């Protein structure tokens, strides 16, 4: 075992010219981007950072508790217009809108983290096993995941939340019900991407050499394949994070939300605001809605930029030029060689096909292989 | 690499379409794709069945607490829910196969009747939404690709992301607020006002698709009313999908705009508009069509939310009503039907993609 582990290490060393910092997923792309693309990425990062900070400091920022109905001067009163004590007014249930919007970020982030973490673990494991071993298990998993993937995600989330919580939710249970419902929707996405990468990497020479050297299946899977298959994960992560917020809000809107006494949830507030709108009360709907839009916008901007930067056709032209300068190693630009991925330029080509739309089906993948 | 990847369709597509009739390629491809629908539907229907059944039997869920224990047991026995679940499962599969989705518990109507009545409304909404999505998404996507990295492109891309980032119910609420409450130009909710609804119901065998029914009455007031009701829901749902289309068209047209045959066409003096709308756009259509197929699922999910926002009485609206009534037989039926629709539409999209691009049917 140790004999297997040592040979690759000296080879890796010359590659590590770049500092660890500049190789971090987002930092790398930030340096790579130019002009408009950089603007979009930075804007996205700022919004996302604000969102995370709001969630962390919600207890300090929010003037009232999310389920607080009365202050020092008695009850807040329902549907109070913005101004005075309540900057953004109060809801039909008598809650302070601003406080609920701020507290809502905490719920959203909690659901994203739980949902995405669970689906990454499950999806990656399944994809790895399925792609590596192949056979009947692989076929069954692929068919199941395709079927689940084709299904409207909101409907699946509805069914799941009926199963988990019977449609009613309490404090932690409600948040987890929402998170698990979203998880089920996302597993197929991670599964597909990791499986496709695994199938490709499995055929690489270094995997075969590892096998010849007697490495165990689990070692090859987790050390040789998994580490090279995770390139696309940050991208799917950002895309899924925004989808998780939308799904959570959707669930909340149709009444599977988290009870207002348990946590603040934007979709639930919008549901309650539905009737207000007809009578011209705009503040109960506008602010939670804007919060959703802003957060999804921020995360999507990051995801889009990562996507474009990973795609040589879409990457800003100047950046592409810099990269090609690096290939020849004639430029004085520091940064070493082009890291196109395990398959060299072929890897990039694959990556483009994998990323352009993770939904691309197997037939198109096969076609690409044929062409190459 | 890119040129190698994208060149063949333009050269190969046209001759292949004419010469192919004898080849077993297309026929076999369609057959395989068709056969693949069956496991998909089977898995989805089974999944929904087992998931819903883990919550207990539907009668206890719907009526528990309202009936005494004896009455419940009697109802459960009468409906056959006290038999082993596996028996019920196979019975359900058999019923679904023959188009029988059971009887709702809350309203005691056959689920299939609900599906046909309200399915028409959802189909109508989805149709209008798709029109909005195509009209907005495709031209703007081409424009963004052509003016790549310019200010227009940036604005359009932000617009596309905003379309996607705005939940349909929020855009719906905003539209309602602006157009119905503040400017009072469009109706707040529903599919038609009471008087037109009455006229539509008097029609012999109505289709359930109000636009068609309204045209049949020949009454311009009714037609206008029905169309006015459709504007806001179609806009809300359509814009959601339009954002996806815009991004998709942009990405793919950028890909084809960089190819040699576009350069060749430009050097021949083909005007820029034609260059984008014909030379670059057509080869880019294949990936676009494939992904549009996958948007059907998004559209249906969005329809559930749009219908709830606008009280558009379609399948999505009813689905939420049935969930509120805890009528899981109906929920199961509607979800299963939507699964079938998604599977079938994916099949159709695959076939269209194969007809356009011979490479697909390898």
User: CA A4 to CA A11: how far, in whole Å?
Assistant: 13
Count of CB pairs separated by less than 8 Å, A with B: 184
A214 reaches B (C-beta below 8 A) = no
Res B234: pLDDT = 94
Average pLDDT, chain A: 74
Query: Is B11 touching A (CB cutoff 8 A)?
Result: no
Report the range out of A351-360, B17-26, B352-361 with the highest average pLDDT: B352-361
Higher pLDDT residue, B362 or A314?
A: A314
Task: Please answer whether residues A116 and A185 qualify as being in contact, where contact means their C-beta atoms are separated by less than 8 angstroms.
Answer: no
- Which of A104, A309, A363 is the best mutation test for B, with the most CBs of B within 10 A? A363
Please say if the pLDDT value at position A340 is more than 70.
no
d(CA A48, CA A296): 9
CA–CA dist A294, B323 (Å, integer): 30
Mean pLDDT, to the nearest integer, of B228-236? 92
pLDDT of residue A361: 40
Q: Answer left, alpha or beta for residue A86, where phi above 0 means left and psi between -120 and 50 means alpha.
A: beta
Nearest chain A residue to B29, by CA: A363
Q: Give the minimum alpha-carbon distance from B68 to chain A in angstroms, rounded to a whole number.
A: 21
A11, pLDDT greater than 70:
no
Q: Say what the pLDDT of residue B299 is.
A: 86
Is B55's CB within 8 Å of A357's CB? no
Residue B115: predicted pLDDT: 86
Q: Which residue of A has its CA nearest to B56?
A: A163
> In angstroms, what CA-CA distances link A160 with B82, B294, B337?
24, 21, 17
Most confident of A203-212, A286-295, B13-22: A286-295
Q: Quote the CA–CA distance of A35 and B149 in Å, as a whole number.
A: 9
Rounded average pLDDT over A167-185 = 71
What pLDDT digit, counting tens, does each position of A327-337 carry? Answer: 333 333 333 33
Token readout for A15 is 């590659």
Q: What's the 3-state SS for A29-67?
A: HHHHCCHHHHHHHHHHHHHHHHHHHHHHCHHHHCCCCCC
Task: Tell me the pLDDT tens digit for each residue of A186-203.
Answer: 888 888 888 888 888 888
Assess contact for A319 and A309: CB atoms under 8 A: yes
Report the mean per-residue pLDDT for chain B.
82
Residue A338 at interface with chain B, using a CB cutoff of 8 Å: no
Q: Is the pLDDT of residue A18 over 90?
A: no
Please give the C-alpha separations between residue B318 and each of A350, B315, B324, in angstroms, as whole numbers: 44, 5, 10
Query: Which residues from B are below 8 Å from A253, CB to CB?
Result: 167, 169, 305, 308
- Specify the higher pLDDT residue, B63 or A38: A38
**What pLDDT was estimated at residue B360?**
64
Could you give the C-alpha distances from A245 to A1, A226, B92, B159, in angstroms and in order? 44, 28, 35, 19
Measured in angstroms, the CA of A139 and the nearest CA of chain B are apart by 12
Ranges of each domain in chain B:
26-182+232-361
Residues of A in contact with B333 (CB under 8 A): none
ipTM at complex level? 0.80
What DSSP character marks residue A75? E
User: Residue B170's pLDDT is what?
Assistant: 93
Residues 284-313 of B with CB under 8 A from A: 287, 290-291, 294, 297-298, 300-302, 304-305, 308-309
* Interval B122-161: pLDDT, tens: 989 999 999 999 999 999 999 999 988 888 988 998 899 8
Residue B66 has pLDDT above 80, yes or no: no
pLDDT digits (tens, 9 = 90+) for B204-213: 877 888 888 8
- Nearest CA to CA, how far is B207 from chain A (Å)? 26
Rounded CA-CA distance A197/A202 in Å is: 8
A151 touching chain B per CB within 8 A: yes
Q: Is there a contact between B111 and B103 (Cβ–Cβ < 8 Å)?
A: yes
Q: How far is B277 from chain A (nearest CA, A)?
A: 20
pLDDT in the model for residue A228: 80
* A140 in reach of chain B (CB within 8 A): no
pLDDT digits 0-9 by tens, A282-321: 888 889 999 999 999 999 888 888 877 776 666 665 544 4
A304–B157 CB contact, under 8 Å: yes
> What residues have CB less than 8 Å from B189, skipping those under 6 apart?
A278, B176, B309, B310, B311, B312
Q: Does B359 touch chain A (CB under 8 A)?
A: yes
State the Cα angle at A255 between A252 and A257, rounded to 5°.
40
Contact B297 A151 (CB under 8 A): yes
The answer for B 94-123 residues in CB contact with A (under 8 A) is: none
**Chain A interface includes B251 (CB < 8 A):** yes
Cβ(B129)–Cβ(B241) below 8 Å: yes
Per residue, what are the HEC states of B179-222? HHHHCCCCCCCCCCCHHHHHHHHCCCCCCCCHHHHHHHHCCHHH
B44 — contact with chain A (CB < 8 Å)? yes
Smallest CA–CA separation between A180 and chain B, in Å? 14
- Write the DSSP string, A271-307: HHHHHHHHTT--HHHHHHHHHHHHHHHHHHHHHHHHH
Residue B236 has pLDDT above 90, yes or no: yes
Residues of B in contact with A296 (CB under 8 A): 164-166
- Among all residues of chain A, which has the CA nearest to that of B294? A150
Give the best-scoring range by mean pLDDT among A246-250, A302-306, A326-330, B38-42.
Answer: A246-250
**Homologous superfamily assigned to B26-182+232-361:** MetI-like (1.10.3720.10)
In percent, the amount of chain A with pLDDT more than 90 equals: 7
**pLDDT value, residue A23:** 65
**Contact indicator for B183, A283 with CB cutoff of 8 Å:** no
Q: How far apart are CA A297 and CA A302, in angstroms?
A: 9
- Among A160, A162, A297, which would you mutate to test the B interface (most chain B Cβ atoms within 10 Å of its Cβ)? A162
pLDDT band at A54 (very low <50, low <70, confident <90, very high): very high
Residues of A in contact with B1 (CB under 8 A): 345, 348-349
What tokens does A65 get? 């508790």
pLDDT digits (tens, 9 = 90+) for B289-327: 777 777 787 888 889 899 999 999 999 999 888 887 878
Compute the distance between CA of residue B144 and CA of residue B305 in angstroms, rounded to an integer: 29
User: B330 and B115 in contact (C-beta within 8 Å)?
Assistant: no
Judged by a CB distance cut-off of 8 A, whether residue A285 touches chain B is yes
Which residues does chain B have within 8 Å of residue A292's beta carbon, measured at their own beta carbons? 165-167, 170
Angle CA A158–A164–A166, to nearest 5: 75
CB < 8 Å to B357, chain A: none
Average pLDDT over residues B54-74: 76
d(CA A38, nearest CA chain B) in Å: 12
Q: How far is B22 from chain A (nearest CA, A)?
A: 22
User: Using alpha carbons only, what angle is made at residue A326 by residues A325 and A332, rounded to the nearest 5 degrees?
Assistant: 80
Tell me whether A313 touches chain B (CB under 8 Å): yes
- Rounded Cα gap, residues B183 and B174, in angstroms: 12
| Confidence at residue A257, expressed as pLDDT on a 0 to 100 scale | 67
Q: What is the pTM of this model?
A: 0.78
């Amino acid at each position: 075992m140790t004999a297997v582990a040592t040979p690759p290490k000296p080879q890796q060393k010359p590659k590590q010219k770049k500092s660890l910092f500049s190789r971090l997923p987002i930092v790398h792309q930030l340096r790579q981007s130019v002009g408009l693309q950089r603007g979009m990425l930075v804007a996205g990062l700022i919004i996302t950072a604000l969102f995370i900070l709001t969630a962390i400091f919600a207890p300090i920022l929010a003037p009232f508790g999310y389920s607080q109905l009365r202050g020092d001067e008695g009850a807040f009163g329902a549907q109070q217009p913005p101004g005075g004590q309540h900057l953004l007014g109060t809801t039909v249930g008598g809650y302070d809108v601003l406080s609920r919007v701020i507290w809502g970020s905490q719920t959203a982030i909690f659901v994203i983290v739980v949902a995405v973490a669970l689906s990454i673990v499950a999806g990656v494991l399944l994809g790895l096993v399925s792609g590596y071993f192949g056979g009947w298990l692989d076929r069954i998993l692929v068919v199941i995941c395709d079927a689940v993937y084709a299904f409207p995600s909101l409907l699946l989330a509805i069914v799941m939340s009926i199963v988990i919580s019977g449609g009613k939710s309490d404090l932690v249970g409600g948040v987890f019900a929402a998170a698990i419902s979203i998880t089920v929707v996302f597993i197929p996405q991670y599964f597909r991407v990791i499986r496709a990468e695994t199938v490709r990497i499995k055929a690489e020479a270094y995997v075969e050499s590892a096998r010849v050297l007697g490495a165990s299946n689990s070692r090859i899977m987790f050390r040789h394949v998994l580490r090279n298959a995770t390139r696309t994960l940050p991208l799917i992560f950002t895309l899924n994070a925004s989808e998780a917020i939308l799904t959570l809000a959707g669930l909340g809107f149709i009444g599977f939300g988290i009870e207002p006494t348990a946590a603040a949830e934007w979709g639930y507030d919008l549901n309650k605001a539905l009737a207000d709108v007809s009578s011209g009360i705009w503040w109960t709907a506008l602010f939670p809605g804007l919060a959703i839009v802003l957060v999804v916008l921020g995360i999507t901007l990051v995801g889009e930029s990562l996507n474009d930067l990973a795609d040589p056709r879409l990457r800003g032209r100047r950046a592409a030029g810099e990269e090609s300068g690096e290939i020849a190693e004639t430029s004085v630009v520091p940064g070493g060689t082009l890291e196109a991925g395990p398959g060299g330029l072929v890897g990039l080509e694959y990556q483009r096909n994998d990323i352009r739309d993770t939904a691309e089906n197997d037939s198109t993948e096969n076609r690409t292989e044929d062409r190459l | 690499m890119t040129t190698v990847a994208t060149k063949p369709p333009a050269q190969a597509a046209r001759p292949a379409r004419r010469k192919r009739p004898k080849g077993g390629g297309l026929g076999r491809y369609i057959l395989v794709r068709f056969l693949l629908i069956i496991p998909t539907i089977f898995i989805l229907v089974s999944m929904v069945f087992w998931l819903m059944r883990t919550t207990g039997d539907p009668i206890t869920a719907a009526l528990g607490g309202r009936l005494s224990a004896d009455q419940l047991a009697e109802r459960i026995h009468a409906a056959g829910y006290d038999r082993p679940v596996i028996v019920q499962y196979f019975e359900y599969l058999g019923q679904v196969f023959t188009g029988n989705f059971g009887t709702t518990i809350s309203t005691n109507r056959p689920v299939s009747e609900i599906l046909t009545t309200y399915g028409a409304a959802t189909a109508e909404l989805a149709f209008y939404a798709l029109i909005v999505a195509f009209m907005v998404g495709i031209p703007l996507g081409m424009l963004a690709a052509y003016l790549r990295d310019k200010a227009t492109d940036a604005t359009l891309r932000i617009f596309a992301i905003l379309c996607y980032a705005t939940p349909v119910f929020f855009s719906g609420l905003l539209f309602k607020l602006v157009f119905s409450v503040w400017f009072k130009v469009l109706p707040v909710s529903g599919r038609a006002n009471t008087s037109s609804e009455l006229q539509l119901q008097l029609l012999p065998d109505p289709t359930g698709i109000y636009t068609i029914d309204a045209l049949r009455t020949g009454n311009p007031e009714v037609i206008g009313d029905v169309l006015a009701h459709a504007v806001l829901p179609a806009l809300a749902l359509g814009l959601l999908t339009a954002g996806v289309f815009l991004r998709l068209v942009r990405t793919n047209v950028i890909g084809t705009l960089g190819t040699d045959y576009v350069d060749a066409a430009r050097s021949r003096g083909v005007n820029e508009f034609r260059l984008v709308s014909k030379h670059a756009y057509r080869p880019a259509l294949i990936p676009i069509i494939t992904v549009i197929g996958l948007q059907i699922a998004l559209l249906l999910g969005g329809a559930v939310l749009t219908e709830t926002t606008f009280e558009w009485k379609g399948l999505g609206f009813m689905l939420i009503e049935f969930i509120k009534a805890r009528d899981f037989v109906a929920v199961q039926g509607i979800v299963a039907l939507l699964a079938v629709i998604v599977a079938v539409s994916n099949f159709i999209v695959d076939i269209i993609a194969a007809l356009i691009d011979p490479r697909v049917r390898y």
